[in-house]
Amino acid sequence: MTEQPRSMESRVGRKNQRYGPKGERLVAGVVPLSADKTLVLMIQSAGRGGWVLPKGGWETDENSPQQAACREAWEEAGVICTVHKDLGQIPDMRSSSLLSSTAPKASYQFFEVTVDREEEQWPEMHKRKRQWVTYKQAADALASRPELLEALNRSSMRR
């Protein structure tokens, strides 16, 4: 099987965004683990500058949330990955004061993946750094993002 060419363009906007039955934005993400499961790859948040897991909207032209999650891993972290485990749905845990028209309520679906390849160039390389970290470093970085911490904790990463 030949690999599909990957776009160097990041998707932007929400016109192709999928929404759930309660109007929540459907978001797919990855917990990218090293082969020995001792490290997780984190990326800089484009907005707030902290460290987060790659994630983004599941769009209408994608057949599955897994496909969306792997596209986000490519666009945001520059990695080619293989999905190993569905970590399930995680509700948005932000307080209503943090929600807005640009940051509506979301429903997250995360997947545990292994990183097959890290590319030197990727669509969002100019606005995000990536970094391999230990469980403790990741958990500390995600303390203010309970939905991302929950995804990390559902993974089989070695603590």
Q: Give the domain CATH number at 77.
A: 3.90.79.10
Per-residue pLDDT of the chain (159 residues; tens, 9 = 90+): 445 556 766 666 667 899 998 888 999 999 999 999 999 999 999 777 799 999 999 999 999 999 999 999 999 999 999 999 999 999 888 777 766 666 668 999 999 999 999 999 999 999 999 999 999 999 999 999 999 999 999 999 999
Residues whose CB is less than 8 angstroms from the CB of residue 102 and which lie 6 or more positions away in sequence, other chains included: none
| Domain span holding position 150 | 28-154
At residue 14, the pLDDT reads 64
Q: Assess if residue 113 is contained within a domain.
A: yes
Q: Nearest to residue 52, comparing CAs of 125, 122, 152?
A: 152
**Predicted TM-score of the model (pTM):** 0.88
- With respect to residue 7, please indicate whether it lies within any of the assigned structural domains: no
Count of structural domains, the chain = 1
- Position 46 scores a pLDDT of 79
* Residue 36 domain-assigned (yes or no): yes
Residue 5 lies in a domain: no
Residue 11's pLDDT is what? 65
What does the DSSP 8-state code read for residue 19? B
- Residue 9, domain member (yes or no): no
47 lies in some domain: yes
pLDDT of residue 15: 77
119: left (phi over 0), alpha (psi -120 to 50) or beta: beta
Contact 130, 78 (CB under 8 A): yes
Q: Residue 2 has what pLDDT?
A: 45
Contact 134, 53 (CB under 8 A): no
Q: Does a structural domain hold residue 84?
A: yes
- Residues written for the chain: 159
- H or E stretch covering 137: helix 135-141
60: closest CA among 19, 90, 93? 19
126 within domain boundaries: yes
pLDDT of residue 47: 75
